[in-house]
Amino acid sequence: MRNLTLRQLQVFEAVARQLSYTRAAQELHLTQPAVSMQVRQLEEIIGLPLFEQMGKKTYLTQAGEELYHYSRVISEQLEEVEEVIAALKGVHRGKLDISVASTANNFGTHLLAAYNKQYPSVTVRLDVTNRETLLQQLANNEKDLVIMGKPPEDVDLVAESFMDNPLVVVASANHPFANNNEMISAETLANEVFVTREPGSGTRSVLERYFTEHQIKLKKGIEMTSNETIKQAVEAGLGLGIVSIHTLSLELEAKRIVVLNIEGFPIMRHWYIVYRKGKRLSPPAEAFRKFVHDNADRLLEKLNT
């Protein structure tokens, strides 16, 4: 198309993916009027509207759907070109775009910091989010690598286990169970309120499965959107919670939270480094993948001492 630019396609792709001019502007570090102008110019070149506004929601038109498909293909090809050029330059250059499950944020950021110290010229972009968003990012091939719990087996992903992830039940230091050294039965938990993550979270799924397997009803209290707020709510006495033991070093040291001796816990899960099957990893991504396998256990041990 005459006069169509890669920048216009980049802006359009961001708006189409986010279905929001505001979020696209934040992602691209542009003002919202600048994003609107680029989309408007693109619509003028094409001669068809690409978006329609219904109430407060933005939707793609048929022309927008078609262009979004091709803009994604073009974007992926440009990224592949960058990766090839980076490979020619070596691992000490380039960028790494990675997402980490919010429950893995603590050790995930330390892994990235240690990696970045070894490869200081690599530009690292980190996104911390929930399981549902991670799977969507993988489906859209938006990230080089993802650190998360085990993904579904019915999708085209490579999932490499690199570390155990024990899930435990925690309570406030003032909870009646806090000084109970005996095994607490699953049935006893039927009388307890649990502070839970949002639907789609890995720990929420594990908790619901545990209660279903023991044929008891889960009493859900406040629903939280991050692991940190779960711990804060538990500490405040709003209920029990289930979290990865890897996230508790500070709270346990300060004796603000205790790990309970519950029947069937800890539930042993694993952390995985995940990417699209068939994806050609860039040198920085391949270096990070190897770095995680070689250093994760050692780094976690260091954090917990």
Q: In this structure, are residues 271 and 296 in contact, taking their beta carbons and an 8 Å threshold?
A: yes
What does the block give as tokens for 23?
A: 């979020």
Q: CATH top-level class for 165-268?
A: alpha beta
**Beta carbons within 10 angstroms of residue 275's beta carbon:** 21
The DSSP result for 79-116, as a single string, is HHHHHHHHHHH-TTSSEEEEEEEGGGHHHHHHHHHHHH
Domains 6-84 and 90-163+270-303 in one fold? no
Residues 195-241 have pLDDT tens digits of 988 887 778 888 899 999 999 998 888 888 888 889 999 999 999 99
Spell out the domain ranges in the chain.
6-84, 90-163+270-303, 165-268
Could you confirm whether domain 90-163+270-303 is CATH 3.40.190.10? yes
Q: pLDDT per position in the chain (305 positions), as tens?
A: 567 888 899 999 999 999 999 999 998 888 999 999 999 999 999 999 999 988 888 999 999 999 999 998 888 888 777 767 766 566 566 789 999 988 787 788 888 989 988 888 888 999 988 888 899 999 888 899 999 988 888 788 999 999 888 999 999 999 999 888 889 999 999 889 999 888 877 788 888 999 999 999 988 888 888 888 899 999 999 999 998 888 887 888 888 899 999 999 999 888 999 999 988 888 889 999 999 998 887 777 666 55
Query: Which contacts qualify for 213-218: CB closer than 8 Å, 24 or more apart?
Result: 214/186, 214/187, 214/264, 216/186, 216/187, 216/189, 216/190, 217/190, 218/194
What is the H or E stretch that residue 148 is in? Answer: strand 145-148
Residues 154-189 have pLDDT tens digits of 788 999 999 888 999 999 999 999 888 889 999 999
The matching CATH number, chosen from 3.40.190.10, 2.40.37.20, 1.10.10.10, 3.40.50.300, for 6-84 is 1.10.10.10
